[in-house]
Structure 1
Amino acid sequence: MKFHHNLVTAIVHALQAIFIEQQYADKVIERILKSNPRWGARDRAFVAESTYNMVRWWRLLWFVLHETKAPEQPTEAELWQLFGVWALHHHGTLPNWTEVAGLNPTQIHERMNYARGVRALAESIPDWLDAQGSRELPEQWASSLHALNQQAEVVIRANTLKITREALAEHLQQQGIETRPIATDGLILQKRQNLFKTQAFQDGLFELQDTSSQQVAPALTVSAGMRVIDACAGGGGKTLHLAALMQNKGKIIALDVEAWKLKNLQTRAKRAGAHIIESRLIDNRKVIKRLYDSADRLLLDVPCSGLGVLRRNPDTKWKLSAEGLELVRTHQQEILQNYSPLCRQGGQLVYSTCSILPSENQQQIQTFLESQAGRFQLLSESTLFPDVTGFDGFYIAVLERVG
């Protein structure tokens, strides 16, 4: 394979932004691609995929390079050598550049072979997180972890307010974009490509949404005319799905503590033609109290560790800590306790996370049901494991308010 020096320079700069400046990988890559509009599709894919892969295998690559953990402040020279390790491992060749001179291919292969026998190295994950997963999922962790290191497929959801899945597939095919059907309204791209510039996206015919994420809104069993509250709406992917399932009839109140997320949701809703969504910023306790006992359906898609979506956000495992995970779990229970009264008696609540850890999922529901606020009965719960489904890891629990 022929490497281009300017493209690898961009990768090195991306890694500096992600690991030294602690920026999010997706935002860094988006910015780099936007600032280099002359790159062709192949060059853009090389930069994006190589950066994501080096982030994914960060610990393994550093072990192979120096037999040490990654430094907090890696130098630019070290990052160039780290790319050399990646190039040799992934592409089987080294570029003939001074930046990677001195690397020993035999030594690299020997260290790589050793690392394959140590799971935390082989799967490139922090020791504490490997231990946490082993404790919580002794039988499922190894296979799930391996699945989470695979590249995620690009999945879209047809916006049925404007088009059917079959008509969308045909429409995209006419533009040279091949897909195959999955889930109820989902399509998987046969080949990775940028869809945001397509006219179909601009017209609001689809949203990017993984298959597992597409299972959350249907779990609410909504129907036209209902009053639904999405209490942790974020960017609104599931909110938009609910609007489509409700056929744009009824009312959806989208809540969040971040104004910029609700602003993005409003933009997306306008593009999708979803006019039953009203966004409200949670800037004080009164916002929640005014909505007590008002929702036929309540969605609590709570903040979580994000372990179920490591395939598309591999930098998460390097930004998360044991202390951070504990704070996340505390916040999840607070949301259950404080927001569950929004659901009326006889209504239903769905609690969901993009995590596979029981401490964020089943154990949270058990704690909630045993509390004074837990005036609900559990109707169903399921964990979508990535090694079983081939998609993101998710947890979905459906509860009915009985008191």
Structure 2
Amino acid sequence: MKLHQNTVQGVIDSLDVIFHQNGYADKVIERTLKSHPKWGARDRGFVAETVYEMVRWWRLIQALSPSQDLYKMLGTYLLWKGQNLPDWKEFKTLDAKLVKRRLEKIEKRAILESIPDWMDELGESALGSKWDAEIAALNEPAAVVLRANSLKTSVRELAEKLQADGIQSQVPNGYPDALVLAQRQNIFRSAHFKEGLFEVQDASSQLVARALDVAPGMRIVDACAGAGGKSLHLAALMENKGRILSMDVLDYKLKNTKLRARRAGVSIIETRVIESNKTIKRLRNSADRLLLDAPCSGMGVLKRNPDTKWKLSMDEIERVKIIQQEILQGYTTMLKPGGRAVYATCSILPDENEKQVERFLSSEVGRSFRLIEDQKILAHECGFDGFYIAQLEKTS
């Protein structure tokens, strides 16, 4: 692909904000694309893909070109990918053969897989012999997965509508509501999205709502709802009959939930900000089902959020583990006896997953619960995000 100065500058500016101003890659790319409305689809695709991939392979690129110069790092990345560079002064000192020789000399997995040393050690400790395959899978670009909104359409009907628009997709086995796009594209521009026929949601994430085993007419509490993706899925599974209380500590996320619900044709979602423990206590023994999609390290979604590699730390993981246990201890009081709770994370670390559930079940509060079953979902085994889903029943 021929390089253009304005799109290259877009990549450079984005990387500068991500690495030197602590910006989040998805938000930075979104702002960059919005600020250049005249870019065509190819230019937009080049900028977004290049930024994401450079963030993903940042440590390896630095090993291939020991420099803090963002132009040199971009040039090194392009050479590594087999692209010829234009005769620009910014790329003058770069040599494809030197890049190749440096690559051949690298043996350390943490560099080859472009992750911090501590993350490599943690992953190997947590997953053992599966870590090699898992980190390789987590370094692959994430597929664009849609969840068909069954209140308005079916998977088959949605696939046909998309195909009529020239968008190819396929139905993955074991995911009743999912469609995987054949090519990455800005699907949010589709008229079908604006009509509420689908949401963008990874296939592994779609398993979470189904694990709650909901039925029309139930009272559901989604206690860590965020922007409401799983609340919307629950509403569809309930045929928009019953009540879903979508809760979060951040009000701005819940406002997004309301907008999404309106587009999806969902009327049973009520949002509520968790202002204090009193908010939880008022709902004691009120829910037929309880979803705890807990804050986590995000170690299972590195393919989707590659900058997590560089923002995450062991201290942050320890902090989030405390929050996870507090949620299990405090929020499960909202569930009725005989009801079901699901504890879920987008992490692959046992310390955030099965060990948290074990600790909860051995506690005073947890003695009223039993583990029905849990799923440990790894990216290299399913092809989608890494997740953990535990189904718990409140026995008394």
Task: Give the TM-score normalised by the residue count of structure 1.
Answer: 0.96
**Distance in 2 (alpha carbons) for counterparts of 1:171 and 1:19:** 40
**Distance in 2 (alpha carbons) for counterparts of 1:45 and 1:91:** 18
**Distance in 2 (alpha carbons) for counterparts of 1:195 and 1:382:** 30
SS of 1:309's equivalent?
A: coil
1:312 aligns with 2:275: no
The unaligned stretches of length 5 or more in structure 2 are none
Determine if contact 1:84/1:95 at 8 Å carries over to the other structure.
no
The unaligned stretches of length 5 or more in structure 1 are none
Aligned with 1:161 (options 147, 151, 164): 151
Determine if contact 2:209/2:230 at 8 Å carries over to the other structure.
yes
Determine if contact 1:296/1:348 at 8 Å carries over to the other structure.
yes
Partner of 2:382: 389
1:34 aligns with 2:34: yes
1:378 aligns with 2:383: no
SS of 2:291's equivalent?
A: strand
SS of 2:375's equivalent?
A: strand
Structure 1 position 198, deviation (Å): 1.3
Aligned with 1:86 (options 77, 80, 86): 77
Which runs of at least 4 in structure 1 moved beyond 6 Å after TM superposition? none
Structure 1 position 142, deviation (Å): 1.2
- Spell out the pairing of 1:137-152 with structure 2 (5 A cutoff): 137-152=127-142
Q: What does the per-residue CA deviation read over 1:2-58, in whole Å, with 9 as the maximum and x for residues that have no partner?
A: 211211111010001101110110000011111111111111111000000000000
Task: Give the TM-score normalised by the residue count of structure 2.
Answer: 0.98
Structure 1 position 376, deviation (Å): 0.6
Partner of 2:258: 266
Identity among equivalent pairs (%): 52
User: Once superposed, what is the RMSD of the aligned Cα atoms?
Assistant: 1.0
**Distance in 1 (alpha carbons) for counterparts of 2:230 and 2:82:** 38
Partner of 1:200: 192
Structure 1 position 174, deviation (Å): 1.3
- Spell out the pairing of 1:200-279 with structure 2 (5 A cutoff): 200-279=192-271
User: What amino acid is the match of 1:308?
Assistant: G
SS of 1:188's equivalent?
A: strand
Aligned with 2:112 (options 91, 98, 122): 122
Determine if contact 1:352/1:397 at 8 Å carries over to the other structure.
yes
User: What amino acid is the match of 1:325?
Assistant: I
SS of 1:47's equivalent?
A: helix
Structure 1 position 180, deviation (Å): 0.9
SS of 1:279's equivalent?
A: strand
Determine if contact 2:295/2:320 at 8 Å carries over to the other structure.
yes
1:180 aligns with 2:173: no
1:343 aligns with 2:340: no
Partner of 2:56: 56
**Distance in 1 (alpha carbons) for counterparts of 2:339 and 2:86:** 62
1:282 aligns with 2:270: no
Structure 1 position 222, deviation (Å): 0.1
User: What amino acid is the match of 2:24?
Assistant: Y
Structure 1 position 353, deviation (Å): 0.4
Aligned with 2:97 (options 91, 106, 129): 106
SS of 1:196's equivalent?
A: helix
Structure 1 position 292, deviation (Å): 0.9
SS of 1:187's equivalent?
A: strand
Structure 1 position 321, deviation (Å): 0.5
**Distance in 2 (alpha carbons) for counterparts of 1:141 and 1:371:** 31
Q: What does the per-residue CA deviation read over 1:333-377, in whole Å, with 9 as the maximum and x for residues that have no partner?
A: 111111011111100010000011101101000000011110210
User: What amino acid is the match of 2:346?
Assistant: C
**Distance in 2 (alpha carbons) for counterparts of 1:291 and 1:160:** 29
User: What amino acid is the match of 1:380?
Assistant: E
Structure 1 position 94, deviation (Å): 2.1
SS of 2:187's equivalent?
A: coil
Structure 1 position 107, deviation (Å): 2.0
SS of 2:74's equivalent?
A: helix
Structure 1 position 145, deviation (Å): 0.4
Structure 1 position 123, deviation (Å): 0.3
User: What amino acid is the match of 1:146?
Assistant: A
Aligned with 1:400 (options 357, 370, 393): 393
User: What amino acid is the match of 1:96?
Assistant: D
**Distance in 2 (alpha carbons) for counterparts of 1:362 and 1:236:** 25
Determine if contact 2:80/2:96 at 8 Å carries over to the other structure.
no
User: What amino acid is the match of 1:272?
Assistant: A
**Distance in 2 (alpha carbons) for counterparts of 1:113 and 1:298:** 51
User: What amino acid is the match of 1:346?
Assistant: G
Determine if contact 2:246/2:271 at 8 Å carries over to the other structure.
yes
**Distance in 1 (alpha carbons) for counterparts of 2:228 and 2:87:** 47
Structure 1 position 91, deviation (Å): 3.1
Q: What does the per-residue CA deviation read over 1:275-329, in whole Å, with 9 as the maximum and x for residues that have no partner?
A: 0000000112111101111111000000001111111110011000111111011
